[in-house]
């Protein structure tokens, strides 16, 4: 029943796609001028204009039918209730439990996990209060002035992105830095200028077995102990993990460990103790506002009718472009420099979740699934890749994200507008030009010479969604992240894939370990399965010895 309903909805949408392929957003707006006001959504503090997407109201009805056929409501409720929807790892997917208010109990296997969550939040709050007030001292009695978060993937991208986004809310007395790459350049740069006596490391790893993180943590530990001695580790290292045994084996006292749970996926973990470095920067009160923002969007996702449900509408639009238009990428264009790391964060969220080619039952997926996400803050991207967005041959749906008020504004010299107003006018212009372009007639009418007209035509009809909020606050950031988390969920349900495992990254890890001897052994072990790897190793070995 479920499969046949999806197939029927899919067939209807294929027909709709054919019909819409010959239409232009100019026509769609002319036919339905109210769409600019009405194809919009309000979710928490976010105002979302999706009117400049390649859909009519009929298309939207068909997309909703697809969502109903995919049993979105039931699947969502199963996730929120702790069903083991991560079937290949037999795990619940409960990142939403990390942001429930204390009174909002959730019982899993007889345990009220909301209490567990708030116990850890309480410990994080006490610890970060001590750091921020200066009552947590280093081994030589100095105040801690720098926190270095060592983690990778979800144990880095979330806190690093959020820390940057909430820069203006951060304490000036505590500098927070991030190290992720096993490239020694990363750790070296992060430690540059730091005083061991005033530095605290947060080793963030869900599994506490990740090679990059443990390698960086071991080097950081040596850097510290060379200057302060072994006994300094207790005051200068804390861990964030689910793996107490490995934390202890590394030499961090579990008393200085902040736990979370296997039902929190790495890329969904910024609300857990993985957010410790963020809490250290912005304080527990602001961190609570951040979590409340997520919860607001969670509640919207759970309660808003499908047609007004922002993650549902946007998630279905993502499916529309990826699976029907074959759009392989989506651009994330924050018109906010403080969101510079948002595209990288969303890459992991979306691509590790939905970069899959088998369905839940192990059968191949028959349609294109997760798109490649990429992007840069506006207006920088305009001077780099927007040319292709406007006149290239590839369809790239774009999300433009902006804020009515900036944290700080500056008067623009020689213009009545402020810098922030200039920024916002660029966002508005891009959304308009992408959609409506400029015709040959309009260009000719400007007096352009005939042989240049074709080059200047702006085809338009390039879809975009505009997401606006009053200001980039902790709560708004939480809402925005949760909006994307739930879109990913919606897409995964429709495609019938498991959005919560990541088997595709495992083989590379084991192969890297297997290849280490090729670089470290005195003699080249020359035990390769392919001639390309053999030649690459040989080139590296000979080049290293010849320098």
Residues classed as catalytic: 352, 383, 509
**Does 180 engage in binding with ligand F6P (CB under 6 A)?**
no
Q: Which residue is nearest to ligand F6P (CB)?
A: 266
Closest by CA position to 346, among listed 295, 401, 389: 401
CB of 184 to ligand F6P, least distance (A): 18
CB atoms within 10 A of CB 297: 27
Contacts with ligand F6P, 443-482, as mask; x by CB under 6 A:
----------------------------------------
Closest by CA position to 283, among listed 127, 143, 144: 127
**Alpha carbon 99 to its chain's center:** 17
**CA–CA distances in Å: residue 215 to residues 179, 307, 509:** 11, 48, 14
Kindly provide the residue ranges of all beta strands, DSSP E only, lying in 264-341, ordered along the sequence: 329-334
What six digits make up the tokens of 3? 């499969």
Contacts with ligand F6P, 229-268, as mask; x by CB under 6 A:
-------------------------------------xx-
Interacting stretch for ligand F6P, rule CB under 6 A, among 201-209, 380-388, 482-490, 492-500? 201-209
Q: Which residues, 6 or more positions from 59, have their beta carbon under 8 angstroms from its beta carbon?
A: 13, 16, 20, 320
CB 492 within 8 A of CB 360: no
CB of 21 to ligand F6P, least distance (A): 37
CB of 512 to ligand F6P, least distance (A): 12
Among 51, 59, 149, 155, binds ligand F6P (CB under 6 A): 155
Phi-psi region of 463 (alpha: psi -120 to 50; beta: other; left: phi over 0): beta
- For 198, the 3-state DSSP assignment is helix
Interacting stretch for ligand F6P, rule CB under 6 A, among 35-43, 160-168, 199-207, 377-385? 199-207
CB of 154 to ligand F6P, least distance (A): 3
CB of 481 to ligand F6P, least distance (A): 15
Torsion of CA 474, 478, 480, 481, to 10 degrees: 130
CB of 153 to ligand F6P, least distance (A): 3
**Does 91 engage in binding with ligand F6P (CB under 6 A)?**
no
Closest by CA position to 121, among listed 254, 237, 285: 285
Between residue 119 and residue 138, which ones bind ligand F6P under the rule CB under 6 A?
none
**Does 210 engage in binding with ligand F6P (CB under 6 A)?**
yes
Among 44, 138, 153, 375, binds ligand F6P (CB under 6 A): 153
**Does 207 engage in binding with ligand F6P (CB under 6 A)?**
yes
Contact set with ligand F6P (CB under 6 A): 152-155, 205-207, 210, 213, 266-267, 352, 502, 505
């Amino acid at each position: 029943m479920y499969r046949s309903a999806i197939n029927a909805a899919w067939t209807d949408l294929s027909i709709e796609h054919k019909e819409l392929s010959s239409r232009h957003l100019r026509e769609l707006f002319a036919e339905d001028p109210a769409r600019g006001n009405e194809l919009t959504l309000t979710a928490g503090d976010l105002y979302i204009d999706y009117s400049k997407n390649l859909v009519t109201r009929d298309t939207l009805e068909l997309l909703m039918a697809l969502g109903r056929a995919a049993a979105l409501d039931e699947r969502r409720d199963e996730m929120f209730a702790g069903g083991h929807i991560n079937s290949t790892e037999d795990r619940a997917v409960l990142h939403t439990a990390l942001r429930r208010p204390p009174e909002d109990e959730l019982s899993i296997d007889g345990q009220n996990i909301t209490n567990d969550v708030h116990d850890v939040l309480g410990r994080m709050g006490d610890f970060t209060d001590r750091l921020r007030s200066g009552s947590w001292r280093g081994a030589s009695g100095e105040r801690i002035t720098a926190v270095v978060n060592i983690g990778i993937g979800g144990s880095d991208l979330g806190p690093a992105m959020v820390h940057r986004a909430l820069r203006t809310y951060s304490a000036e007395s505590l500098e927070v830095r991030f190290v992720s790459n096993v490239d020694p350049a990363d750790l070296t740069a992060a430690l540059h200028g730091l005083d061991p006596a005033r530095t605290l490391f947060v080793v963030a790893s869900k599994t506490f077995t990740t090679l990059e993180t443990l390698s960086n943590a071991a080097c950081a530990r040596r850097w510290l102990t060379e200057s302060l001695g072994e006994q300094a580790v207790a005051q200068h290292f804390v861990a964030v993990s689910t793996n107490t045994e490995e934390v202890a084996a590394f030499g961090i006292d579990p008393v200085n460990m902040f736990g979370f749970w296997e039902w929190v996926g790495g890329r969904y973990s910024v609300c857990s103790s993985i957010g410790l470095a963020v809490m250290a920067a912005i304080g527990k009160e602001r961190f609570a506002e951040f979590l409340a923002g997520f919860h607001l969007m969670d509640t919207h996702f759970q309660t808003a009718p499908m047609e007004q449900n922002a993650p549902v509408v946007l998630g279905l639009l993502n499916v529309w472009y990826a699976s029907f238009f074959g759009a392989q990428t989506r651009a994330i264009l924050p018109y906010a420099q403080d969101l510079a790391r948002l595209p990288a964060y969303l890459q992991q969220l979306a691509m590790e979740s939905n970069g899959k080619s088998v369905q839940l039952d192990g059968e191949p997926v028959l349609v294109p699934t997760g798109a490649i996400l990429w992007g840069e803050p506006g207006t920088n991207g305009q001077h780099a890749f927007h040319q292709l967005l406007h006149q290239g041959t590839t369809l790239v749906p774009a999300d433009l994200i902006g804020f009515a008020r900036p944290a700080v504004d500056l008067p623009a010299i020689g213009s009545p507008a402020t810098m922030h107003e200039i920024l916002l006018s660029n966002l508005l212009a891009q959304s308009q030009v992408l959609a409506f372009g400029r015709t040959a007639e309009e260009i000719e009418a400007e007096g352009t010479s005939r042989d240049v007209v074709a080059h200047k035509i702006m085809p338009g009809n390039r879809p975009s969604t505009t997401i606006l909020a009053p200001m980039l606050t902790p709560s708004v950031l939480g809402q925005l992240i949760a909006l994307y988390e739930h879109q990913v969920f919606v897409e995964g349900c429709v495609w019938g894939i498991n959005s919560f495992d990541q088997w595709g990254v495992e083989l590379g890890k084991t192969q890297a370990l297997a290849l280490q001897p090729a670089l470290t052994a005195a003699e080249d072990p020359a035990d390769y399965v392919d001639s390309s790897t053999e030649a690459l190793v040989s080139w590296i070995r000979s080049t290293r010895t010849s320098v």
